[in-house]
Amino acid sequence: MPKVAVVMGSDSDLPVLEKAIDLLADFGIQREVRVISAHRTPDAAAEFAKGAQRSGVEVIIAAAGKAAHLPGVLASMTTIPVIGVPVKSSFMDGLDSLLSMVQMPSGIPVATVGVNAGENAALLAVQMLALKHPELEEKLARHRTEMADAVREKDVKISSQMGGR
């Protein structure tokens, strides 16, 4: 069974990741959810990153705000793909976190989604896992069809309410 680690720098980041955690469950992906601070518990971050592959983790989703170093710190200690989720903070609405994640030095990439975009991080993780686990490709296709159907339903509803069509 595919496994994704969902790591947050603080428990205050959990609301940003709840949809991601639920979405991974919907796809049948095992989750390991942790709170690890790059600055307050650096030894725990190193231990986790260095042992993640051995524990079966195939992709890491890491959310952090402000300095937002967690995804980069984890990426520097493993070859597992790391997806960064910048968390909106009171300073610059999360732009500072986003820039911190996307400005990684050459050789240590972190795939980064938009500010507070935990759901997109989960979908990107599923796409990565689908390369190795073909059963996820079908689930992704169904998920996209369901999203398109929901938009069509909203279109019909709004259109009929507003006198269009």
In SS3 terms, 39-51 reads as: CCCHHHHHHHHHH
Contact 70, 36 (CB under 8 A): yes
Return the pLDDT at 93: 85
pLDDT at 165: 58
14: tokens are 């959990």
User: In tens digits, what is the pLDDT along the chain, a chain of 165 residues?
Assistant: 999 999 999 999 999 999 999 999 999 999 999 999 999 999 999 999 999 999 999 999 999 988 899 999 999 999 999 999 999 987 788 889 999 999 999 999 999 999 999 999 999 999 999 999 999 999 999 999 999 999 999 999 998 888 765
Looking at the domain that runs over 3-133, which CATH code has it been given? 3.40.50.1970
Alpha-carbon gap, residue 116 to 75, rounded angstroms: 20
- Write down the pTM of the prediction: 0.93
pLDDT of residue 90: 74
**All structural domains of the chain with their residue ranges:** 3-133, 135-165
Interval 78-111: pLDDT, tens: 999 999 999 998 778 888 999 999 999 999 999 9
pLDDT of residue 92: 83
